Amino acid sequence: MKATPNYNLIHADDDIIVLNKKSGLCVAADRYDEEAPRLDLLAQKEFGALFAVHRIDKDTSGIVVYARNAESHKNLCAQFAGRSVHKVYHCLVRGRPLWQDLKVSLALMPDGDARHRTVVSKTHGKPSVTEFHFIGACGPFSWLEARPLTGRTHQIRAHLSANNLSIVGDPLYSGNQRGVYLSELKKRWNGDPESERPLIDRLALHAWKISFTHPASGQQVEFVAPYPKDLEVTRKQLAKVFGVDPLNS
């Protein structure tokens, strides 16, 4: 798997490119920040012209699929619009849900307030559905699996916020910018609290898996994006202390 500072290549053929992007990169142009770094422009230097078929949030890491020609672009856009693409996200939240499985059906309106957040709106929102699964608790944190059945901006974050849960490192929806510190996890931690660095200090949301019909072969394909370094370190530490591992649940 070829790696760059901004993305890893998961798969490439004549019709599609599948990348694992780092947090902080836009998938395509950002209407609020024209200068924001863009994954498509960076990847085009290596792969040539790319056509966006879906988006994940700038601060979310993980799988992004691009088409490499007009025919594949049309096919994939139709699959996303028809909700036949299956997406799985993993996220680390603060607190513990009272449910094992939860299906959230709340109409969402992007750019619904002064902070450009997505808000629940029965009158102006679009139908939005996310299925959540509680993987396990790790002290003050919990691992969740999220399967968005629609593709609204900030959908997972907004649906969790509406159910009183916030993703680690999400200042936009939780107001809590504190990351995960090893001193929070280990009872016998002997480090220096003044110099301790967080295991992860950004949005702990990762687009982990995607499956769809290949636009040229017609075969069902599935791709998995390995956790980036900060999330992987966090996963290992939580698994070591609490015995809960989202990759082996």
> Is 15 part of the annotated catalytic residue set?
no
DSSP string, 10-45: EEE-SSEEEEEEPTT-BSS--SS-TTS-BHHHHHHH
179: left (phi > 0), else alpha (psi -120 to 50), else beta? beta
For residues 213 and 220, what is the distance between their CA atoms, to the nearest angstrom? 4
For residues 194 and 235, what is the distance between their CA atoms, to the nearest angstrom? 24
Catalytic residue, candidates 40, 57, 59, 170: 57
* Of 108, 149, 150, nearest in space to 125 by CA: 108
Contacting residues for 88 by C-beta, under 8 A, at least 6 apart: 145, 146, 147, 208, 209, 210
Q: Which residues are catalytic?
A: 57
